[in-house]
Structures are given as C-alpha cells and as structure tokens.
Amino acid sequence: MNHDDFYDERTPRGGRGWFFTAIILIAFIVGALFVQYVLPATLGDGGRVSLIGATPTTTPGATEEPAATREPVERPEVAPELGGRAAMLHEANISEIRKAVGPAVVGVSNKASSIYGALEEQGYGSGIIISEEGYIVTNYHVIAGAGAVAVALSNGVEMEAQIVGADEYTDLAVLKIDAQQDLTVMPFGDSDAVDVGDLAIAIGNPLGREFFGTVTAGVVSGKDRQVTVDGRTIVMLQTDAAINPGNSGGALLNSRGELIGITSVKSMYTRSGYSVEGLGFAIPINSARPIIEELITQGRIKRPMIGVRGAEITAAAADYYNIPQGFLVKEIVEDGPGDRAGIKINDIIIRVDGQRTKTTDEMSSVIYGHAAGDTVAVTVWREGREIELSVVLGDS
C-alpha cells in the first residue's frame, strides 16, 4: 500500500477552514517528529536515554525485569551445581554428540498479550538445560518483553517457564521449569581452553519450531572478539558454524560435547553494507557462569553506578556545537553518587578514572571495572572548563 491508496490531495469546495486546519496539523506533526527524532539524533546513540549503572532498559549494564518475572521466585542461597556429567570421555563424532546432549537444548517461546488480550507468541529462540533442578539459560533478547514464557523439550512436551533473572548488558537470562521428568543436562566445558581451529558444533532452533534441534558445525574462528550490540560491548567466541535467527540462546559445543558458548549474535552486514556469511558469535561459558549463578541467587546483577541519565555526544554534534565528546548529563538520581559528588545537569562527562571516555560504552566499561564503594575521579566539562570530582560508586 502507498500513500495514494488512502490520501486524497484534493481540497473540497467550501472547505477552506479544513485546509488551514490541515496545515496547522501538519506543522504540529512535523514539529513533533523533529523533537522526537531529529534533535535527539544530534546527541548520538539514536537519541536513546542512558542511565549509567542503574536498571532501566535503555541503560548499558541494566538489568531489566521482564513482565514474566513479577511472580515471586524462590531463590537458593547458593546456586546449584551447574552442568551435567561429561557426555564423552574422548573426542566424538557430531552424530554421537547430538544424541548424547542434543536433548539439553530446548525451544523458548516469548509470549505477549495481543490486542484482544490473549497471549500470543511474539518470538521463538533456544535455551540450554544447565541443572537437574530445571534451570535453563538463554539470551536476554529471547525473552525481553515477555508476558509469559514457555519451554519446549526435545520430546515435544511444552510447559510454562518462570523467568528467574535477566541481564540486558550481558544478554543472558535464566529460566526454570518444573519438568516432572528426568532432564538431560548440558555438560560445561572450558571456553578459555579452546583454540582457534577447534571443532565447534551449534545446536538450536533456527527460524523457530519447524527446524527444532538443528545441528551445524564449523570451527572456532576467533577468541576474545569484542562485539558491540546496541551500544554495549560483549567479549565473544567467533565461529563459522551456521547461526541464524532462532539459534539465539542455543549451544556451541566442543568436540567432547561440552558447552563452550551460548550462541547469541550473527553478523549479516559489514559497516559498508556488504552481506557476510559464516560470522557467528557466542558468549563464552566461563564468562557466563558467574552471571548465571548470580541471576539464580539474586535475580539481577549488581553493578557499580554513578547515577546519572543522559545522552552520548557524537563527534559530529561535538564539532557542530563546539563542545567535547562525552556523556551529556540530563538527569541525576537524587542523593545518588553523582549528586553527592557535585555533578550537575548539562555537565559533560569526558573522563572517568583518568581514562578518556567519548562514548557511553567506554564510560560503562571503566565503571564496571570497579566495585560499589570504590572512589573514582570523574572529570566533567562545565561551561568551558574541566572540573574533576570524586565519586563514590553506588550499587545498582
């Protein structure tokens, strides 16, 4: 459908009042669009608001609480033993590995209320059974915004799942099911021990239910790859094993059938716009494990915070307005660390702990390298001069 299908440019006779009303309405809409999209874009980060080290969804490092987590969750004081028994005592072929640990990979259905009030599936991904108690790890983006989550086992049984915890910054989430049956638990490997060129096997559900349990294979193409997704940088394993939409939250295995990564991202285009293939990424299990354990016991990840909200100033905006690149403070958490340290509205944070921070991601990385209670030097640009402040980091 195009605009000509529903818009008539002709002005009815005797309708001059409607003509002027339409002109005013159009001007209002244009002005609203300018405020909503054009003006924020000059500040960078697509105009999105960022709350450093706190919990809204727009925050790098935030821990959003999806709707499905609102029911009380029983939390153990100590995380249960994660990972099943080693499936293979030696290197095995791909078919043997699939038979041994394939059932530990499940389908994850993200359901939300339709306009009619009924729950409808709005997305489908993968997950991995990681304990006998029924804990399942998946990606945060697989269950984000869910009103309810369902898990499908390899035998076709589907059941409701509870969201135990979710962390947007690391793109990890933990679910729990009450299966009332024996579960195949995925054994954990050592992601630090893998070498480039090692066998890598991906198991997941590309494109959803129709291709449940798909197995692809390749090699570990790279380690410690810094991949930026939605303004946050995650260190990942790189693989050429085929990873497609629906694989998110699935397993990347080594030649012994052990979990070395949680498949998360596929790069489809370069910055120049060229399409690429064989460029998939997985969150290393050694990095994911402490996050998973904290989500099970706490439901969220505690991170240090400054307690300011604002927007990133891009290089283009900095040149145009003759101001430095950095983080423009638009809101301050009352009596938060930044407020107590003397940070003010319209300050531009340009340096944290002595390191130049031009982007929100750079600032978050420095802050997250500390713990709550640490004192860090924060340099702000205020009305043409630099001011150094001491901030005692808070706890998100």
Q: Report helix, strand or coil for 228.
A: strand
Contact criterion met (CB below 8 Å) for 126 and 202: no
Q: How far is CA 56 from CA 41, 62, 67, 227, 308, in A?
A: 20, 6, 13, 22, 12
Contact criterion met (CB below 8 Å) for 169 and 62: yes
Q: Who's near 296: CB < 8 A, 6+ residues apart?
A: 75, 76, 79, 80, 135, 164, 165, 174
Catalytic residue among 50, 109, 191, 248: 248
The tokens describing 26, both together, are 């159009």
Contact criterion met (CB below 8 Å) for 233 and 226: yes
Backbone angles phi, psi at 90, to 5 degrees: -150, 170
251 forms bridges with which residues in the sheet?
A: 203, 262
Catalytic-residue membership of 335: no
Catalytic residue among 109, 131, 167, 171: 171
> Which DSSP helix (H) or strand (E) runs through 95?
helix 94-101
Q: Are strands 251-253 and 232-239 parallel, antiparallel or unpaired?
A: unpaired
Catalytic-residue membership of 319: no
What is the rounded CA–CA span in Å between residue 195 and residue 346? 47
Catalytic-residue membership of 90: no
Give 99-161 as a DSSP string: HHHGGGEEEEEEEEE-TTS-EEEEEEEEEEE-STT-EEEE-HHHHTT-SEEEEE-TTS-EEEE
What is the rounded CA–CA span in Å between residue 324 and residue 380? 10
Catalytic residue among 45, 109, 131, 141: 141
Nearest to 227 by CA among 183, 305, 274, 284: 284
Q: How far is CA 182 from CA 79, 121, 131, 134, in A?
A: 20, 27, 11, 9
Catalytic residue positions? 141, 171, 248
